[in-house]
Amino acid sequence: MRVPGTNALKSLALQVVGWALVLAGIAALVLPGPGLLALFAGLAVLATQYEWAERRLEPVKKAALRTAADSVAAPWRIAMSVLGVLSLMAIGIVWGVGTPVPSWWPIDDEWWLKGGWGVGASLIVSALIAAATIVYSYLNFREIRHEEAVEEAQEEAEERRRSQQSGR
């Protein structure tokens, strides 16, 4: 037996999820977070509903994968990302535990680290998600970036060889 309106409800749910991911991805392009990956995920969900989203999916996917590979291409990038994760986690712990209001704080004391463990826990969870993203990118995209660099170097060497032969 089929429940009336099930398809409409499924379509609505997919659209809400897709647009939420697209908006989160756009926000994360300028805020900390995996913006292109969230944008890609949102477009992938919307592509099940709209042709225009399907047409835009491949370029965003390529950009997201390239960015993920670039993020783990150099050891200093990985180190800075890990430092950011550790900093975010430390801020979450300090926020959760709470510290006395410093003397330099210009606003009323009740506004110092407002939110307690609710905010602190969300910062810690964000740090864990960021750490998981770094590990995932390292495991899945580091070799891709290395292979691209090798291919680029081979192409450049081939071009130099051709230009030297044509110059003779």
pLDDT digits (tens, 9 = 90+) for 105-140: 898 888 888 878 888 898 898 889 888 888 888 888
Specify whether 63 is located in the same domain as 82: no
Specify whether 82 is located in the same domain as 145: yes
- Calculate the alpha carbon distances from 161 to 36, 99, 150, 158 in Å: 38, 65, 17, 5
Rounded Cα distance between 121 and 88, Å, is: 11
Joined tokens for residue 43: 């477009």
Specify whether 42 is located in the same domain as 87: no
Specify whether 44 is located in the same domain as 83: no
- Residue 83 confidence (pLDDT): 95
Mean pLDDT over 20-30 rounds to: 88
CB atoms within 10 A of CB 15: 15
Indicate the residue type of 72. Answer: V
CB 52 within 8 A of CB 27: no
- Total count of domains within the chain: 2
CB atoms within 10 A of CB 27: 13
Give, in degrees to the nearest 5, the angle at Cα 81 between 59 and 72. 50
Mean pLDDT over 81-109 rounds to: 90
Specify whether 66 is located in the same domain as 76: no
Last residue of a domain, one of 51, 71, 91: 71
Specify whether 42 is located in the same domain as 84: no
The parent domain of residue 9 ranges over: 1-71
Specify whether 76 is located in the same domain as 122: yes
Rounded Cα distance between 78 and 57, Å, is: 27
Specify whether 87 is located in the same domain as 166: yes
Mean pLDDT over 43-70 rounds to: 86
Specify whether 131 is located in the same domain as 91: yes
Specify whether 138 is located in the same domain as 66: no
- Residue 71 confidence (pLDDT): 79
Specify whether 23 is located in the same domain as 66: yes
Choose among 141, 123, 120, 142: nearest CA to 33: 123
Choose among 118, 134, 38: nearest CA to 86: 134
CB atoms within 10 A of CB 40: 24
Q: What is the pTM for the complete model shown?
A: 0.59
- Residue 32 confidence (pLDDT): 67
- Residue 93 confidence (pLDDT): 93
